[in-house]
Structure 1
Amino acid sequence: MNAPQIISLGCRMNIAESERMRAMLAGEHNLVVVNSCAVTGEALRQTRQAIRRARRDHPTARLMVTGCAAEIDRDTIGAMEEVDGLIANAAKLDPRSWNVAGEAAPLAPARTRAFVAVQNGCDHACTFCVIPQGRGQSRSLPVTAVLREIETHLAVGAQEIVLTGVDLTSWGHDLPGTPGLGVLVEAILAAFPSFPRLRLSSVDGVEIDPALFDLLAHETRVMPHLHLSLQHGADLILKRMKRRHARADAVELVSRLKALRPGIAVGADIIAGFPTEDAAHHAQNLSIIDELGIVHAHVFPFSPRPGTPAARMPQLAREVIKARAADLRTRAADTRAAWLQSLVGETLPVLAERDGTGYAPNYARVALPDGTAAGSIVNVTVREVREGLLV
């Protein structure tokens, strides 16, 4: 193995950090790094599975594990016979942790989109979440550092920048003057006036500041795609999760945005089968998909994490959780199918990936004609929907 293999699990934050590690470790040979996730019990299971698979595929490689599972479940992961060592989550982007030279410029991106982590950690205490234990308190990358990193990605051909973070919309709360995320987005757009596409990863709706709202509503270079860290559609369950929004807050936010930018596509994270959830709560979870028009749904069956308050609450039976997750996925798939069908006949500017598909501004995936150059933005008229892709 002539180049290190980075296996990234979990969130877009991990994807962004994996790309930086890939550049930093480019000169290392026979190295496998598993950048792990521990957000749920299922995520931990998948991390352990990935470690075992990596060892089978690379029996002589040095296998290192970092990420949230290596922090939160350090004893469990460290005891696996396949693992040669652990790197603390907070130290994984420090060259000294790997005994390599200093900062490295990004490699030519594996994707035509570059994920830029502008914030890390979380100051909130959602009852189901262990991520603050793995990531620590919220920390923001200063504007100048963000611009410098984006410049390096643009220099190697990235056509779209995706801003990401553990709690992205808390960016700036720890910086002088406590700027909102809108300030950062405005600075990026001003610094790179010819740069075509900026996308936000998951956001907390109650933290969207007025400047950011205005950009989402009116700025064409900010993609019309809002992914909400929603989690549930029932107010009582949101309260038991210790979320800071009510159902009505999400409905109002999306209604205001759609009134100003009708084509904006809404995504959301939704948890099925949270402790104490009854049939009425589940019905509200289903109906929020319809009310918000959620077309990019990430449905998570609840999985208790030891040490969290939710793990001590009355649990639902696994078969009930599984059935409710299936209900949510079916409802979301129906909503998405209708949305995709509504795009037939439209002409969309699509950023071509290397696999023959690409993404429209609204994050719809499009099958592209043979020979479309990766990294190009091409106008495509949609003729049909086939197997979940616009054609």
Structure 2
Amino acid sequence: MIERKFHVMTFGCQMNVSDSDWLKRTLASRGFTECENPEDASVFIVNTCSVREKPEQKVYSLLGRINVMTKGREDIIVAVGGCVAQQVGRGFFKRFKQVRLVFGTDGLSSAPQALDRLVDDPTLRMSLLDFSEEYPDRDGNWEDSEAPVSSFVNIMTGCDNFCAYCIVPYTRGRQKSRPTQAIIDECKDLLSRGTREITLLGQNVNSFGQDSHGDGTSFTQLLYKIAELDGLKRLRFVTSHPKDIADEVIEAFGKLDVLCPRLHLPLQSGSDTILKKMGRKYDVEKYLSTVEKLKAARPDIQLTTDMIIGFPGETEEDFLETMRVAKIADYAQSFSFNYSDRPGTRAEMLPDKIEKKVMQDRLARYQAWQTDNTERILQSMVGKKLDILFEGVSRRPGTEGVSWQGRDVYGQLVIVTLPEGEDVTGKILPVTVTKATRHSLIAEKAGDTW
């Protein structure tokens, strides 16, 4: 008999994190028990990402380790979901005998029922790989529990851009916008359960409502509707495609108090030649014009980005253009990676692939600049007074009292030591930054204002 004890392992983006959180709640509502220690589990769920090569290889390695860890046990179910599952499909059954469920991005909503069946029938194997015609909405399954202080809300899935390097349209399908009222209702429910900050998620949130599933609400209108909700203190969104961000969205940064002054705006390359090969449908001039408008609307805005280094045909001059644009945009943080072929994409077939050594050298140079720039920005916060939304007790031990963690409006992690017995979960309180580390800020109470 297979026990209803599960362990979830998640790779990739914030949408995957959100999906895994939903899956955990839903399985708990169906009588499953989550195990922090994987060795105690009988049901292993791996939620995968295939945007880059490294996360995909990590999945295969992890499945191999699960096989070794559970060797000799017959009471095991391994389920593989997400983008790699959509891509590889039933091929997992051939490679890993303990994999009994493969579910794609739209199949997630049916995965809990499938796991129910697999627990009861040890001979069964199932695949849920079809794309649905509509947005696959689902119940939040919060029951009577509190929600996190900061929560994610999906507003769409899939993508219609078909950038040359990207596998998302093939693993998450074409763009499907979620009904506006369903989004509003979920936000209200989260706020009633203790959420104070909401991040709207989608592969390209700026094109929300522009597909055949849209209900007439634009992304700008959605922002304003959510900003009006009682209890909401902070609002964020990811990810934005530079070609689609409307002037009205840019203006919202200066008009909506709850909209946080930090935006993830993927550049991918600072070379017009490479951007054209990538199929990004904007050039550097347009991108920097958007940056200029954002900084005019909200002078204190911080930008983050994605960068692909070593795209096929990239010259040293192309790379130096990327460095130039990055310095102009003054990124607070970057997610930068060497280019890797993704099966079925146009870029896989392009000639002039860059030597690995050259790619790694360029990536190291870019990341060295970004590390220095991030440290400079964090150091500039020392001595400043910030309003922090406290999320909970930090894993870092406090020297005296209890170490708490929260985030400022830019999303930067802030650690504050407080006296024993003080609970500030979900509160926004002023602190003074006393120190900056490489990735976070250390702060103390701002005077006697609490």
Aligned counterpart, 2:81: 66
Aligned counterpart, 1:158: 195
CA contact (8 A) 2:44 2:79 kept: yes
1:117 to 134, 140, 154: 154
Q: Which has the larger radius of gyration?
A: 2
CA contact (8 A) 2:203 2:238 kept: no
CA 1:168–1:176 in structure 2 vs 1: closer, same or farther (change >3 Å)?
closer
Aligned counterpart, 1:105: 141
Distance apart, 1:177 and its partner CA: 5.9
CA 1:231–1:98 in structure 2 vs 1: closer, same or farther (change >3 Å)?
same
CA contact (8 A) 1:116 1:150 kept: yes
2:205 to 168, 177, 183: 168
Aligned counterpart, 1:219: 256
CA contact (8 A) 2:205 2:239 kept: yes
CA contact (8 A) 1:352 1:373 kept: yes
For 2:171 and 2:293, the matched residues in 1 are separated by 35
Q: 1:236-261, CA deviations, whole angstroms, 9 ceiling, x for partnerless residues?
A: 10000000211112211111111221
SS at match of 1:125: coil
1:17 to 6, 12, 19: 19
Aligned counterpart, 1:206: 243
For 2:252 and 2:370, the matched residues in 1 are separated by 27
1:47 to 41, 59, 62: 59
For 2:153 and 2:173, the matched residues in 1 are separated by 19
2:276 to 234, 239, 253: 239
For 2:384 and 2:92, the matched residues in 1 are separated by 49
SS at match of 1:127: coil
1:300 to 337, 351, 361: 337
Distance apart, 1:184 and its partner CA: 1.0
Distance apart, 1:319 and its partner CA: 1.5
Distance apart, 1:54 and its partner CA: 4.5
CA contact (8 A) 2:148 2:194 kept: no
2:348 to 311, 319, 329: 311
* Gap runs ≥5 in structure 2: 34-41, 118-137, 395-403, 443-450
CA contact (8 A) 1:52 1:82 kept: no
Distance apart, 1:62 and its partner CA: 1.9
- The one-letter code of the counterpart of 1:67 is G
CA 1:117–1:241 in structure 2 vs 1: closer, same or farther (change >3 Å)?
same
CA 1:156–1:32 in structure 2 vs 1: closer, same or farther (change >3 Å)?
farther
CA contact (8 A) 2:49 2:82 kept: yes
Bigger drift between 126-135 and 47-56 goes to 47-56
Aligned counterpart, 2:407: 359
Bigger RCO (CA 8 Å, 6+ sep): 1
Q: Let me know the Cα RMSD of the aligned residues.
A: 2.2
Aligned counterpart, 2:38: none
- The one-letter code of the counterpart of 1:70 is A
Bigger drift between 230-239 and 304-313 goes to 304-313
Aligned counterpart, 1:38: 50
Q: 1:180-202, CA deviations, whole angstroms, 9 ceiling, x for partnerless residues?
A: 21111111122x13310111122
CA contact (8 A) 2:262 2:302 kept: yes
Distance apart, 1:109 and its partner CA: 6.6
SS at match of 2:106: helix
Distance apart, 1:144 and its partner CA: 0.6
For 1:106 and 1:300, the matched residues in 2 are separated by 36
Distance apart, 1:205 and its partner CA: 2.1
Q: TM-score, normalised by structure 1?
A: 0.92
Q: 1:265-292, CA deviations, whole angstroms, 9 ceiling, x for partnerless residues?
A: 1000011111100100111111222110
CA 1:53–1:389 in structure 2 vs 1: closer, same or farther (change >3 Å)?
same
Aligned counterpart, 2:319: 282
For 2:168 and 2:430, the matched residues in 1 are separated by 40
CA 1:186–1:97 in structure 2 vs 1: closer, same or farther (change >3 Å)?
farther
CA contact (8 A) 1:19 1:106 kept: no
Aligned counterpart, 2:133: none
Distance apart, 1:159 and its partner CA: 1.8
CA contact (8 A) 2:159 2:168 kept: yes
CA 1:217–1:70 in structure 2 vs 1: closer, same or farther (change >3 Å)?
same
For 2:325 and 2:416, the matched residues in 1 are separated by 33
For 1:183 and 1:370, the matched residues in 2 are separated by 40
For 1:352 and 1:261, the matched residues in 2 are separated by 24
* Gap runs ≥5 in structure 1: none
- The one-letter code of the counterpart of 1:15 is V
Distance apart, 1:358 and its partner CA: 2.0
Counting matched residue pairs gives 389
Bigger drift between 143-152 and 45-54 goes to 45-54
Identity over aligned pairs, percent: 26
SS at match of 2:231: coil
Aligned counterpart, 1:134: 171
Q: 1:156-179, CA deviations, whole angstroms, 9 ceiling, x for partnerless residues?
A: 322211111122222111245643
CA 1:65–1:344 in structure 2 vs 1: closer, same or farther (change >3 Å)?
same
CA 1:378–1:48 in structure 2 vs 1: closer, same or farther (change >3 Å)?
farther
For 2:76 and 2:427, the matched residues in 1 are separated by 37
For 2:241 and 2:231, the matched residues in 1 are separated by 28
SS at match of 1:384: strand
SS at match of 1:231: coil
For 1:3 and 1:115, the matched residues in 2 are separated by 26
For 1:138 and 1:176, the matched residues in 2 are separated by 10
Bigger drift between 90-99 and 378-387 goes to 90-99
